[in-house]
Amino acid sequence: MSDAISTVKKKAEEVEKVVVRFAGDSGDGMQLTGSQFSFTSAMFGNDLATFPDFPAEIRAPLGTVEGVSGFQVQIGKIDIYTPGDQADVLVAMNPAALKSNLGHAKKGGNIIVDLDAFDKRNIEKAGFSANPLEDHTLDDYNVVQAPISSLTKTALESIELDNKSIMRSKNMFALGMMYWLFDRPLTDTVRYLEAKFKKTPALIEANKKALYAGFHYAETVEALPSFYKVPPASIEKGKYRHVSGNVATAWGLMAASEKSGKRLFYGSYPITPASDILHELSKHKNFGVITLQAEDEIAAICSAIGASYAGQIGCTASSGPGLALKGEALGLAIMSELPLVIVDVQRGGPSTGLPTKTEQADLNIAIYGRNSEAPAIVIAASTPSNCFEFAYMAVKLSIEHMTPVILLTDGYLANGSEPWKIPNMSSMPDIVIPNPPNLNGSGFLPYVRDKEKLSRYWAIPGTIGLEHRIGGLEKQEETGNVSYDPLNHENMVRVRAEKVERVANYIPELEIIGEGVGKLLVVGWGGTYGGLFTSVKELQQSGRKVDLAHFNYINPLPKNTKDVFSKYEKVLVCELNMGQLASHLRSKFPGVKIESYTKIQGQPFTVTELKEQFLEQLKNNYEHNGRDQEEIYKTGLYQRSIGSVVSGLRRLLHPVGNAKCITPNGCCQRGCGVCIRNRLCCTIPVLHEYLWLPYRTWKRPGCSYRS
């Protein structure tokens, strides 16, 4: 069969970027459809970003909202950093998919539904009171009612296949329609189908037929008067491939293994959304990768620690609940000062939480979540493809500094994918193994340290002459013997902390996207990069003074962090939690005004909501007149407005009731509204601020409000 080419003359509408969302029952093959569409678009030369959004249930009841699986992709001729906020085109394979995805569809956009699926039973199951195709539910959209199921059946009449297999091809029909709508070739998908169903030619035939049928059907549909043209993006020259965050993570670990000449040992217990790293690594045993599917999360990390002790790269991955279980063993790795990489693919929590949804709420547990003083290096990847780079860096830092590294990714990065300019191994930085120095006849002491990094040396068991014992009990400096000496303990606690702090000398400085000075600095970390970058860039292009600084290295922080912050009137930390990085930064830089913008819905930020928030923040910075008095009273004292002075004075005068301080930062850690002194300490800075007086010298001990 030759490639289908549209013959009907319809109008082409050129767009810079477009968002497509596929939604159907979890058995409808929407993930496959979405990834094929993405792949074809990537081959065509578009930049893109994807976001699969699927249920936790293996197979929720057919036709229910709980069982809907979605896949969103944004393609563009411009650089694309997010899967997009709302879909220009939504494909809904049944009423439940329409119901749960309507919120993701752009008003005025196209909705393509499988008309055959809209029977009474399915409509009821989805929770619609009436057929949404017949009432006014979809008035704001251009709806294409395509009898996808029956047309697929007709198209596949001549093929000898059971009804179930035939109906499973309907996703290809829908994909074919999309290929017409976006003027895409079918060849890449055909090649894919031929490889995938090599053993059952009937399935190749069925899927191909459905694909072509969909394509030809779409060009006859009156409701689709035009098709989109999304020209190739002008992206950097080179060889590209598609990669998801989890695969990139696995490859980054493998790359570090190859570069360092150490075997990769990966101990892991299956957990969503981290399991794909285990799946990927277990394919590559010929690279010397050892994978152990451990009996539990604890064994996963402990076996990795054992492997590190034996001289290979010990590595484990999990999600939040697993990281909680690994805490004790992580302490052992910190105490025994061994290399260890722990990947935490964050998901919604606490407890089992939202296993298939994304969140950034494991930052606190990564930085602080262990008994006693147990510092670890914490880094975070920020795009699906740079999971490769940061997995590689996690291994490098861990080996070179002889201490555990926690790499944070998240469900959004892990399952999301994007085109990736393939790096060459020769361009990856060297990994220097901290081999013990020449002993010149003296015995090996396990806790003798490198003078610059403060890291100890890695003596490999089995080597004659380097015999030594390590463990979880406190160690005497240099000898590593068990020691209960009080001063030695204090010294060792401080040395371990200092060792991690000194990693700041070996990591890149914080980069600023923007002018480096101004009214508002947006700060983010990890997987929110795409949304933050796009929002900030768009505002910058419209002339707004807003910059972005995005953290990949979190503990220790880049050395220039405070300098960067000090150039801005306001620092706004945006994250998918209740403000964990904001709190961390406030404790590190108490003099800097740090505010927090958060979202905790298991979904990434949308560019729309971010831009609205930034504009609001810019307004707050210098506009105060005309604000609603009640709003000022509620939202607190941080505004430079007469209103806040009034409300501050009110607080001063009324010792009970509304006296509780409700500044976004919380005025005073000891709790306000209790004693007059605290209220004073809130109010006076406001007065000073209003009058533009240098109030910074005025400070009551214990008050953190802009002190």
Is 65 among the residues that bind other proteins (CB under 8 A)? no
Q: Are 453 and 401 in contact (CB under 8 A)?
A: yes
By CB under 8 A, what part of segment 612-631 binds other proteins? none
Site size toward other proteins, by CB under 8 A = 63
Contacts of 426 (CB under 8 A, 6+ apart): none
Strand, coil or helix: 698: coil
Closer Cβ to other proteins, 237 or 451, answer by number: 237
Instruction: Give me the least distance between CB of 421 and other proteins, in Å please.
Output: 8
Is 66 among the residues that bind other proteins (CB under 8 A)? no
Closer Cβ to other proteins, 295 or 498, answer by number: 295
Instruction: Give me the least distance between CB of 67 and other proteins, in Å please.
Output: 30
Residue of 132, 267, 321, 526 that binds other proteins (CB under 8 A) = 267
**Residue 320 to residues 156, 250, 361, 408, 559: CA-CA distances in angstroms?**
46, 19, 8, 10, 28
As a whole number of Å, the end-to-end CA separation of the chain is 73
Nearest to 262 by CA among 435, 446, 10: 435
Q: Are 68 and 90 in contact (CB under 8 A)?
A: no
By CB under 8 A, what part of segment 393-432 binds other proteins? 421-425
Gyration radius of the chain's alpha carbons: 29
Closer Cβ to other proteins, 274 or 338, answer by number: 338
Instruction: Give me the least distance between CB of 483 and other proteins, in Å please.
Output: 13
User: Which of these ranges, 24-32, 160-168, 260-268, 694-702, lies near other proteins under the rule CB under 8 A?
Assistant: 260-268
DSSP 309-373: HTTSEEEEEE-HHHHHHHHHHHHHHHHHT--EEEEEEE-B-STT-BTTS---TTHHHHHH-SSSS
Q: What gap in Å lies between CA 174 and CA 95, rounded to an integer?
A: 15
Nearest to 215 by CA among 516, 457, 445, 7: 7
Looking at residue 589, its amino acid is F
Closer Cβ to other proteins, 204 or 354, answer by number: 204
Q: What gap in Å lies between CA 7 and CA 448, rounded to an integer?
A: 76
Closer Cβ to other proteins, 292 or 572, answer by number: 292
Instruction: Give me the least distance between CB of 422 and other proteins, in Å please.
Output: 5
Closer Cβ to other proteins, 308 or 641, answer by number: 308
Q: Where are the beta strands (DSSP E) in 3-121?
A: 11-14, 17-25, 47-53, 68-76, 87-92, 105-114
By CB under 8 A, what part of segment 276-315 binds other proteins? 284-288, 290, 292, 294-296, 298-299, 302-312, 314
Instruction: Give me the least distance between CB of 533 and other proteins, in Å please.
Output: 21
Is 469 among the residues that bind other proteins (CB under 8 A)? yes
Residue of 3, 13, 328, 373 that binds other proteins (CB under 8 A) = 328
The stretches of 102-227 forming alpha helices (DSSP H) are 120-125, 148-155, 163-167, 170-181, 187-196, 201-220
> What six digits make up the tokens of 23?
């939604």
Residue of 62, 133, 470, 513 that binds other proteins (CB under 8 A) = 470
Q: Are 111 and 134 in contact (CB under 8 A)?
A: no
Q: What is the DSSP letter of 461?
A: T
Instruction: Give me the least distance between CB of 461 and other proteins, in Å please.
Output: 4
Closer Cβ to other proteins, 116 or 418, answer by number: 418
By CB under 8 A, what part of segment 425-454 binds other proteins? 425
User: Which of these ranges, 61-69, 466-474, 488-496, 654-662, lies near other proteins under the rule CB under 8 A?
Assistant: 466-474
How many C-beta atoms surround the C-beta of residue 163 within 10 A? 9
Q: Compute φ and ψ for 479, nearest 5 degrees.
A: -75, -30
Q: What gap in Å lies between CA 67 and CA 57, rounded to an integer?
A: 7
By CB under 8 A, what part of segment 3-42 binds other proteins? 39, 42
Is 235 among the residues that bind other proteins (CB under 8 A)? yes
Instruction: Give me the least distance between CB of 430 and other proteins, in Å please.
Output: 14
Closer Cβ to other proteins, 288 or 666, answer by number: 288
Closer Cβ to other proteins, 9 or 237, answer by number: 237
Is 73 among the residues that bind other proteins (CB under 8 A)? no
Residues forming the site for other proteins (CB under 8 A): 39, 42-43, 45, 235-242, 251, 254-255, 258, 263, 265, 267, 284-288, 290, 292, 294-296, 298-299, 302-312, 314, 328-329, 331-332, 336, 421-425, 460-462, 467-473
